Amino acid sequence: MLWHFLSILVATPLGLTSPVSPRWSDLQVKHSWPNVPRNWHCEGPAPEGTTIDLRIGLKPHREDALVEALHEVSDPAHEKYGAHLSKAQVAALVAPHPDTVDLVHAWLDHHGVPASSVSPSHSGDWLTVSSVPIDQADALLGASYQVYRHAETNETLLRTVGYSLPAALHAHVAVVAPTTYFGGPRAWRRTSHLTPNGRILPDGDAHIQAEIAKLQARPGSLATVPSSCGSTITPSCLRALYNTSTYTPAATSKNTLGIAGYLGQFAIHTDLKTFLTKFRSDAAAANFTVVKVNGGEDNQNDPGIEANLDIQYAESISFPTPNIYYSTGGSPPFTPDDNTPTNTNEPYLDWLDFILAQTTIPQTISTSYGDDEQTVPLDYAQSVCTLFAQLGAQGVSVLFSSGDSGVGSDCVSNDGSNRSMFIPNFPATCPFVTAVGGTTGVNPEKAASLSSGGFSNYFARPSYQSTVVPSFISSIGTQFSGLFNTTGRGFPDISAQAENFQIVVSGRTEGVAGTSCASPTAAAVISLLNDFLISQGKPPLGFLNPLLYSTGTAGLNDITSGSNPGCNTKGFTAVKGWDPVTGLGTLDFGKLQAIVG
């Protein structure tokens, strides 16, 4: 059975028969906003000489081929489970039909775009058109590119509030970027300060480690984690809570853990050393590799709270597994007097284009960034989601923080109707990633009120959720009627601790909260599972959700209390089984190791 992930909107079938003489002037809207997106203000046209790099996503020859393959290699009940695809095999599945390529090139040629400026991606499913003059981009796309400034961040972008394509291209082109995507991934980190009941441990957690050591001496006693972990989270707490303390990685020459970083966030090597010295002394010599993507930097004098949080907990839980931090750049914010005023700045596409072109990809990747789903153009969201499916088909487990706003903060639709609604988050709503919500407390854990969760308005419910999500929706009856999409993909899928985390920034110990804490924590546990499998000569887990929603459920700790208020409501409530606050629950490494082994 296929996982249905297409937009809830009716999709146009892929037509491969092109008109003999396309009417390039017959433009039809591909995407537009009814108004300039919230907080963005137009500052007028781009200065003369401005150019832009365009990415054109081409629809595949066989629209369902990738999803079919992902299903086969990710479903534990399928005979091809674990037989992940090579980069070349994925490329063959997503390749566009030759008619598509010919038609798009004819369109570009009609507008005078030189063939030398057009380059395909490694799979041929994306074309990059370099240094397109703005007036030419406007003509190609029936657009009106302008300079827009964000009222709060002062960020400046070159965008259009709408774009069109010739009617003949709509069945062949999935998306063109950058066009109407005004946002950019923001870190899901609600605060950089401890919650009121939190505390700082500047000298480490020796007393917590001592308590855990006593518990470890009594078999089975780690069912009760030290109560001090309820107000202060350290690596020792998490290793005890998620049952990884006694596992030593054995496949460190093959298994790696990746962290995707954005927005000029830099992970600091000296801060990691200080953190590990305080909180995991046996790993004090550990380090991580920085890979720069699309102009990303590695400024060791500018510590990022998000970057440090991600790498410090990923490293401390997965040690000695090699960790890679991807510093993703993209063009800097657009400034009218740039000497080379090209502005792409599409961070998800920048990172995905890079990582999918690599020969070797980390088996587990965590990302703690996202956007309100409704601020991401539908065509862009669908195209990016499909790229995550390509990673899953190659055996990569992709985890995303679910967000920190409960069921939503700015709870008004941006489609012009201004109706009240819960606001889901993307990419957490993509059915090909594992979304991680937040918990807090111990003995037992409960839902963290910040934990974002709900239902997608873009992606239909995947078949791996066909039982648990309808059961939850049925259980709440007419509560919140009209505020969420009852047929959408539910999120999160799992959860992990998300409050009172100790981190080191510029040598100082600080406390942070948010599902930015939860995703690297869960990813580190998954990385250990991948280490175990690889050490046994088995393939890594790859796309996790079909496993988690079937045989893997027995390896999760169900969270049955707490809620995620927002939109002037109490939000959803954590219940037995899946819920849109904590998903299926938190990971138990020991139980999952037995299940997957």
Catalytic residues: 306, 310, 516
Q: What are the residues whose beta carbons fall under 8 Å from the beta carbon of 282, sequence distance 6 or more? A: 319
CA angle 183, 565, 312 (to 5 degrees): 60
Task: Kindly list the distances between the CA atom of residue 223 and the CA atoms of 122, 217, 318, in Å, as whole numbers in the listed order.
Answer: 48, 13, 21
Closest CA to 178 of 329, 322, 5, 379: 379
DSSP for 369-428 reads EEEEGGGS-HHHHHHHHHHHHHHHHTT-EEEEE--SSTT-SS-B-SSSS--B----EETT
Count CA atoms within 13 Å of residue 509 on its CB side: 20
Question: Dmax of the chain from CA atoms?
Answer: 79
Contact between 170 and 12 (Cβ < 8 Å): yes
Q: Of 260, 288, 292, 264, whose CA–CA distance to 276 is shortest?
A: 288
State the Cα–Cα distance between residues 38 and 183, nearest whole angstrom: 10
Q: What secondary structure does DSSP assign to 433-488, as a single string? A: SEEEEEEE-SSS-EE-TT---EEEEEEEPPGGGTTHHHHHHHHHTTTTTTTS-TTE
- Residue 112: CB atoms within 10 A of its CB come to 10
**Which residues, listed in sequence order, are joined to residue 133 by a DSSP beta bridge?**
51
Q: Which run of H or of E encompasses 351?
A: helix 347-356
> Phi and psi dihedrals of 384, rounded to 5?
-65, -40
CA distance 83 to 80: 5
| Cα–Cα distance for residue pair 505/198, rounded to 1 Å | 17
